[in-house]
Amino acid sequence: MMSSNTEFTPQDDASFSSLVQDIKLSSSNPSAVEAHLPGVVDRLEAALAKLEQDGNDQDSWDQVSNTFQFLADSAREEKARTPIGESRAVALLVQIEALNKQRLSHVDIQALRVLANICVDHEANRNKVLEAGAFETINDILRSSTHPDAVKTACGALLNTTMACEAAQSKVIELGTIESLLKVLKSDDIDENEVSMTIAARVTANFCDSDGGSQSVIKFSGINTVVQLLVRTSKDVEGYMDLFDAATDILRAVASKEAAQVAIQKEGLFIPLMEILEHTGISDEGKTEEEKKEDDKKFGETKAALVEVVVSATLADENMVPVFNNKEVMERFLTWLKLSDREDLQTCAALCLGNVARSDNHCVKLVHEYNAVEPLIHVVRKATDLKASHAATGVLRNLALTERNRELMGNAGVIQACFPLLKKDNALPLQANVVGILKRLSTNDGHNTIRIISGREPFETLSSTPNTEGDIETPMSTLVDVIGRSDDFALKSEGTRTLCNLVKVTWGSEGMREFDTRSITALQQTLNKADVVLPIAAMTRNPKYVVLQNEGVIALTLLVTSPTQDKNAVLDSLVSVELTPQPDPETTISEEPLDQTKPLTLLESLLSLIKNQDGKCPDEVRTNVCVFLRNALDAAAREGEDPAYLTFLKGSGMKDSLSEVLEGLDKDAGEGKKSPLVRHAVQEVLSRLA
């Protein structure tokens, strides 16, 4: 072992070279490396002292390079990394490299190898590298070195020294090293620098997991740099697969940031990204089946990431108008919807259109100027990928919210195209989209209401063969089926509200006046059946949502006095004491699952609303309930109706309950809390119970 104050001499040089060779031969023995470390450190200290006096001493730099190489080679062995990290080697390395003003590449490369190798699977050494200030060293080399191998090794050192180490990553970001990494990605000769560029992209992508890293990429115009790199490598994506994949990871990591989304739009990067998605592919020629599967999987994941980037870029509020007004981008999206053999592009296009169709004005233009409905229907009818179907129905659901679009969408066949998707019980979000489409298209629209109820076009003869159970499958019958078999509270509720919509439009919409009485009667008879009434009654029984209860009450009020072909389904539900099962809170995706500890019958639920013991039920709803009960009693008293209905209702205790309510209202009125509408409505019901 050499003493710490021994200076380098020619003889010492030869002796040291022999020592290095001996240890290289025994590097598989970590204890041998550890035994020689004190001598190695002594020599680094001596070299440091000498270089501080003469930074141009080439012999000293050569000796340092050899010493660094010894440490780097030794650190290939896992057990050698801890003793090297615990020695003063890293601190001395940083001090010596600070004197390397000439950026001697053979010294830089070996120093970087030391840092990279000691940090392989070694968290403690990463922290020691950070504490020693080695990231300033790496940053300086990467910023100023022009030697390809030095740049490549610097990128590799950054990869190893910052892996899963937030503190190290934060330091590198603080130093602005990402700017240098992005410079590497701009290299003119990809073939010559592919490895460096790939590692630089991987490191940058790792840094982008943090806000600071993403912001640095955006700050240094990294979005443009990466997209241009993708354009260049997409010409031979198979040859540059690793680089292409790593560059894509950067975009995916930053795409959630609004600043990155805006940069894609402002810097005109939509079209380049779309062209990459359109034209980039890989060949299967000369590959084994296993290789084909592996490449297809990897490239598929990369394309999915690029789709994610394009879709994310349309999310920014600042991008909505400029993207929508960009005819080239919009026309390309619409063209993609027609590409049956590229469901990835169909999905991407539909998601992007949904993101920019977030205003009434855009929804109207998308339907009436861009003519987007037909290509969206094409996706719905032809797609085999549920993601494409879900994306397309999501856009149609948005478009149906605007009243001006409903007639055109109905005429185009949206209802007929979408309702079969309600059968896909393995795709709850898709079912929810379709229910939303039916609900919105039927709102205040008589023609679409007819299409949903009957499965026919308006003005077809409805009265001659009204739909009954066992007839042709219709959108409404399919909707009723999914309400009955679904355990999801949100889906059941929205489906049932759609049924309520159909009832309200059929009985009260201005748009229904253009149809003859026989046709309207046929529709009403189709609605006034148990399979429609029961889910409405079940929703009305749920005390958690008064708004939903009120919608149910209004629909039942219209139904109870309407013509029926068989028994009066509303009166049946009102006198029934059998309770239909409710959705299990554990299997529902709704944010507020049903919470009903004591199930009530429909009549009990209605009386509970009128009593309003918790004070939360608005007078309007209480009045509506009374109107329903009044109409139900009138219907039960009609000539030809089963007398058992009226007998049950009169003997149900309803009279006593409402009499108590009336007494309470009179008491409240004496205290200045008047509810005249409720009082009058209660009296109307009591008059029928006398």
Among 351, 322, 331, smallest CA distance to 433 is for 351
Chain centroid to Cα 647, Å, comes to 56
Q: Rounded to an integer, what distance in angstroms lies between the CA atom of residue 293 and that of residue 438?
A: 41
Q: Rounded to an integer, what distance in angstroms lies between the CA atom of residue 167 and that of residue 486?
A: 49
Q: Rounded to an integer, what distance in angstroms lies between the CA atom of residue 551 and that of residue 445?
A: 18
Q: How does pLDDT run across 157-179, given as a tens digit for each residue?
A: 999 999 999 999 999 999 999 99
Q: What is the pLDDT of residue 623?
A: 96
Residue 408 contacts residue 373 (beta carbons within 8 Å) = yes
Q: Rounded to an integer, what distance in angstroms lies between the CA atom of residue 624 and that of residue 577?
A: 22
Q: Is the pLDDT of residue 580 over 90?
A: no
Model-level pTM greater than 0.85? no
Residue 7 contacts residue 57 (beta carbons within 8 Å) = no
Q: Is the pLDDT of residue 375 over 90?
A: yes
Q: How does pLDDT run across 485-514, given as a tens digit for each residue?
A: 999 999 999 999 999 999 999 998 777 888
Q: What is the pLDDT of residue 298?
A: 77
Q: What is the pLDDT of residue 638?
A: 85
What is the token pair recorded at 108? 């830089």
Q: What is the pLDDT of residue 672?
A: 66
Q: Average of pLDDT values for 264-285?
A: 88
DSSP per position, 65-126: HHHHHHHHHHTTSHHHHHHHHHSSHHHHHHHHHHT-TT--HHHHHHHHHHHHHHTTT-HHHH
Mark residue 640 as left, alpha or beta (left: phi above 0; alpha: psi -120 to 50; beta: remaining): left
Q: How does pLDDT run across 8-63, given as a tens digit for each residue?
A: 222 334 333 444 444 444 444 555 678 889 999 999 999 999 999 999 999 999 99
How far are the Cα atoms of 5, 184, 317, 568 from residue 174, in angstroms, in the given order?
38, 19, 30, 75
Question: How does the average pLDDT of the chain come out, rounded?
Answer: 88
Instruction: Please report which confidence band the pLDDT of residue 330 belongs to, taking 50, 70 and 90 as the band edges.
Output: very high
Residue 486 contacts residue 435 (beta carbons within 8 Å) = no
Centre a 10 Å sphere on the Cβ of residue 431 and count the other Cβ atoms it contains: 24
Q: Rounded to an integer, what distance in angstroms lies between the CA atom of residue 683 and that of residue 690?
A: 11
> Amino acid identity, residue 73?
D
What is the token pair recorded at 376? 């969206």
Helix (H) or strand (E) holding 153: helix 148-162
User: Which range among 54-68, 249-263, 569-583, 640-654 shows the weakest confidence by mean pLDDT?
Assistant: 569-583
User: Which range among 276-290, 365-379, 470-484, 610-624 shows the weakest confidence by mean pLDDT?
Assistant: 276-290
User: What residue spans define the domains of the chain?
Assistant: 545-579+598-689
Instruction: Tell me the H-state helices in 234-316.
Output: 241-254, 258-266, 270-279, 289-313
Residue 72 contacts residue 20 (beta carbons within 8 Å) = no
| Angle made by CA atoms 321, 326, 330, in degrees to the nearest 5 | 100
Chain centroid to Cα 116, Å, comes to 37
Q: Rounded to an integer, what distance in angstroms lies between the CA atom of residue 390 and that of residue 388?
A: 5
Q: CA 287, 289, 290, 291: dihedral to nearest 10 degrees?
A: 20
Of residues 114 and 595, the one with the higher pLDDT is 114
What is the token pair recorded at 558? 């219209």
Q: What is the pLDDT of residue 42?
A: 95
Q: How does pLDDT run across 638-678, given as a tens digit for each residue?
A: 877 888 999 999 988 999 999 999 998 888 776 667 788 99
Q: What is the pLDDT of residue 245?
A: 94
> Amino acid identity, residue 271?
I
Q: Average of pLDDT values for 207-222?
A: 95
Q: What is the pLDDT of residue 30?
A: 52
Centre a 10 Å sphere on the Cβ of residue 133 and count the other Cβ atoms it contains: 14
Q: What is the pLDDT of residue 584?
A: 47
Q: Is the pLDDT of residue 465 over 60?
A: no
Residue 681 contacts residue 688 (beta carbons within 8 Å) = no
Q: Rounded to an integer, what distance in angstroms lies between the CA atom of residue 70 and that of residue 16?
A: 11
Q: Rounded to an integer, what distance in angstroms lies between the CA atom of residue 539 and that of residue 484?
A: 12
Q: What is the pLDDT of residue 16?
A: 36
Q: Rounded to an integer, what distance in angstroms lies between the CA atom of residue 375 and that of residue 397?
A: 15
| Angle made by CA atoms 516, 518, 519, in degrees to the nearest 5 | 70
Residue 643 contacts residue 566 (beta carbons within 8 Å) = no
297 CB burial (10 A radius; 0-12, 13-18, 19+): exposed
Q: What is the pLDDT of residue 598?
A: 60
Q: Is the pLDDT of residue 586 over 60?
A: no
Q: How does pLDDT run across 417-453, given as a tens digit for each residue?
A: 999 999 999 999 999 999 999 999 999 999 999 999 9
Instruction: Tell me the H-state helices in 568-618.
Output: 569-575, 602-611
Instruction: Please report which confidence band the pLDDT of residue 79 belongs to, taking 50, 70 and 90 as the band edges.
Output: very high
What is the token pair recorded at 142? 């990467």
Residue 431 contacts residue 494 (beta carbons within 8 Å) = no
Q: What is the pLDDT of residue 566?
A: 74
Chain centroid to Cα 518, Å, comes to 48
Among 226, 181, 177, smallest CA distance to 199 is for 181
Give the orientation angle of helix 105-118 with respect to helix 89-98, to 10 degrees.
150
The DSSP call for residue 6 is: P
Q: What is the pLDDT of residue 22?
A: 45
| Angle made by CA atoms 618, 624, 628, in degrees to the nearest 5 | 150
Q: Rounded to an integer, what distance in angstroms lies between the CA atom of residue 686 and that of residue 84?
A: 94
Q: How many Cα atoms occupy the beta-carbon half-sphere of 147 within 13 Å?
A: 13
Among 640, 515, 653, 645, smallest CA distance to 576 is for 645
Q: Is the pLDDT of residue 284 over 70?
A: no
Q: What is the pLDDT of residue 512?
A: 82
Residues in the chain: 690
The DSSP call for residue 14 is: H
Q: Rounded to an integer, what distance in angstroms lies between the CA atom of residue 284 and that of residue 299?
A: 12
Q: Rounded to an integer, what distance in angstroms lies between the CA atom of residue 397 and that of residue 403?
A: 12
Q: Average of pLDDT values for 551-565?
A: 88
Helix (H) or strand (E) holding 556: helix 546-560
